[in-house]
Structure 1
Amino acid sequence: MNKRCIFHVPNYIDPQGKSGSQVRPMKIKKAFENIGFQVDFVMGESKARKAAIKKIKHNINNGVRYDFLYSESSTMPTLLTDKNHLPLHPFLDFDFFKFCKKRGIKIGLFYRDMYWKFGEYKQAVPVHQRTITVPMYKYDLKMYNKLLDILYIPSSGVRSYLPECYTPNVVCLPPGAVLNQHILEKRRTYFETRQKGSIKIFYVGGVNGVYDLSLTLKVLKQKPFVNMTICCREKEWEEYKSYYAPYLTERIQIIHKSGEDLQPYYLQADICSCFFEATEYRSMAMPIKLFEYVSYTTPIIATKNTEAGRIMEEHQIGWSLKYEENEFSDFLDKLYENQDVLKEKHLKVVSYLYENTWECRAKKVAVELGG
């Protein structure tokens, strides 16, 4: 019998999008297909979702069997995901969940994060908007509590921020990595033939706010044996380059690339960075970029008391450091003296990669929801 599932996303996803909220749904949808599922996709503005839901209901009423319904939440409340942020079809998505539940289709939903509960959200969103969005985020949780069989979360830290009354199963489902044999072979050759020399750090992401790189660059300015490449949005860099100017040297390269254009930089990197100040939000947030680093089998430096740091400690695929200048400086000095450890960490990342692909995530969901 053919395997078939429903994949629901309550907003439009740009297939070429770069953010985690755009990348993740497309990656895991493709992973379901790669493990043999026909995927009926409910996605887009509410009008498009209504049409897709109507078709799936017709299928179910005419005997089509779906193994499960898997959903990924939006960064916005479900009722406000149209471009105009108006609740044009307020009952559409949760009524569809009710329809599936009544027909014995198990439902799992990945809850992206709980950014709305943290100080960063209050600083970024005006109070008049929060008076609307926060109650609607709470409404989402209330409906999840009633309708879901499994709530998937990106990290174990999210669980402590859920209401105590939340009862369905809560299961970790972090991002996945991409297994590419061609890249694996190139990286194996790189680390096997690498001679002692300058240490090359690569970073991809933002450079403002919670992604402040000033401590990293301040330390690197004193380390002539370290080169760093920073990939960020050009507009963002233009806004913040004067802030970073005191720390820049000829050993710091700034690029504005994406997608496959990043590959040459990854292939020559010794370390990738997730090294930032350990805020309360970051203690539970799971950066999707970490798993892109894993895809290129690159050892990672992360911060203690963050989710990324916990993974480094548990799986030994990099280093977890206190966010302090002296500790970072001492780490780089020791690494320069003992560069053989880079190959050792690379091999651990390879092992971790095989167990943490997007296909691994899709198989986990399929088993847990009965597919």
Structure 2
Amino acid sequence: MKGYLKAHTHFFLPSEQMAEYLDLPEKTSYSALPPAGDSNQVLPLPDSALTLFYVGGIGAHYKLNAFIDAARSIPQIRVNLVTRKKQWDEAIASYPTFQSPQIHPYHLNANELDDLYAQSHIGVLAVEPSDYRRFAVPLKLFEYLSRGRPILVTEGTEAARIVSSFNAGWVVPYTAEAIAATLRRLQGNRAEVQAKAANAVSAAKVNTWADRARTVADTLTGKSK
């Protein structure tokens, strides 16, 4: 790190908030460069019962308990949950309530998710907030957007800030009651889901990997100044 600082290197960080945790010197040059999504991946919303989609880990750093409890309280919704089998087995051993009619676990690779995306209305990032999540930017955030899926995300996270900036989802407290109230409202208001999905599509158009490459080029050549 000292060598990079001495060379006056420009740092690309997942978010500007990460600079606080790196304790960079005051005059350090840095900017945000979050992940992105692929272009031309948008899928239409399905005509089915409200279906939510979560892809990622489950466990100490990916606590979904409040979201799962909320989903379990609403019989008419469906949650497609993709995670590693080992993590799923450990989760249900610790929290047997994860096994419920609303929760459908899958153990798939990244290139096997198209059908589940096509079945879904909303992507889920409703994990327990933490210091790490104050600056972390999940890759799945932009993958959800690239498929035209609005996002349910917990407040107090960098992911929530990004979703709010595009009005492409719902920012909720990390409580089962708050999440359940939002899900019940959306069950009876598909127009709201469609409007947020349209915003997700708009966000996806300006958050592709090509956009990120242009940002890097413009920053390093001084065009962004």
Determine if the TM-score, normalized by the shorter chain, exceeds 0.5. yes
Alpha-carbon distance in structure 1 between the residues aligned to 2:150 and 2:71: 18
Which residue number corresponds to residue 222 of structure 1?
Answer: 73
Report if the CA contact (8 A) 1:221-1:248 is conserved: no
The residue that corresponds to 2:139 in the other structure is 288
1:166, distance to aligned residue in structure 2 (A): 4.6
Q: CA RMSD in A?
A: 1.6
SS at match of 1:171: strand
Which residue of structure 2 lines up, in the alignment, with residue 171 of structure 1? 31
How many residues are matched? 222
1:147 aligns with 2:20: no
**Secondary structure, aligned partner of 2:134:** coil
- Residue correspondence of structure 1 range 195-210 to structure 2 within 5 A: 197-210=48-61
* Structure-2 residue corresponding to 1:342: 193
Task: Give 1:241 deviation, angstroms.
Answer: 2.0
Distance in 2 separating the partners of 1:204 and 1:148: 38
Aligned structure 1 segments of 4 or more residues deviating by more than 3 angstroms:
none
Cα offset, 1:330, TM superposition: 1.0
1:33-44 pair list within 5 angstroms: none
Identity %: 30
1:264 paired to 2:115: yes
One of 163, 167, 172 as aligned partner of 1:316: 167
- Give the match's secondary structure for 1:168: coil
Per-residue CA deviations over 1:125-156 (Å, capped at 9, x if unaligned) read xxxxxxxxxxxxxxx2x222112431111012
Gaps of 5+ in 2: none
The 2-side partners of 1:165 and 1:306 are apart by 24
Which letter does structure 2 place at the counterpart of 1:216? F
Cα pair distance change 1:164/1:259, threshold 3 Å: closer
Partner-residue secondary structure (3-state), 1:212:
coil
Distance 1:358 1:204 in 2: 20
| TM-score between the two structures when normalised by the length of structure 2 | 0.92
Structure 1: how far apart are the matches of 2:201 and 2:14? 21
Residue 205 of structure 2: aligned partner: 354
Cα 1:164–1:258 shift into 2, 3 Å: closer
Structure number with greater Rg is: 1
Q: Once the 2 structures are TM-superposed, how far is the Cα of residue 238 of structure 1 from its aligned partner?
A: 2.2
Equivalent pair of 1:233/1:256 in contact (CA under 8 Å): yes
TM-score by length of 1: 0.57
Residue 176 of structure 2, aligned match among 325, 328, 353? 325
| Equivalent residues of 2:85, 2:107 under 8 A apart | yes
Gaps of 5+ in 1: 1-139
AA in 2 matched with 1:170 = Y
**Contact 1:301/1:321 (<8 A) preserved:** yes
Alignment of 1:108-187 (within 5 A): 140=1, 142-163=2-23, 165-180=25-40, 183-184=41-42, 187=43
CA distance in 1 between partners of 2:220 and 2:72 (Å)? 51
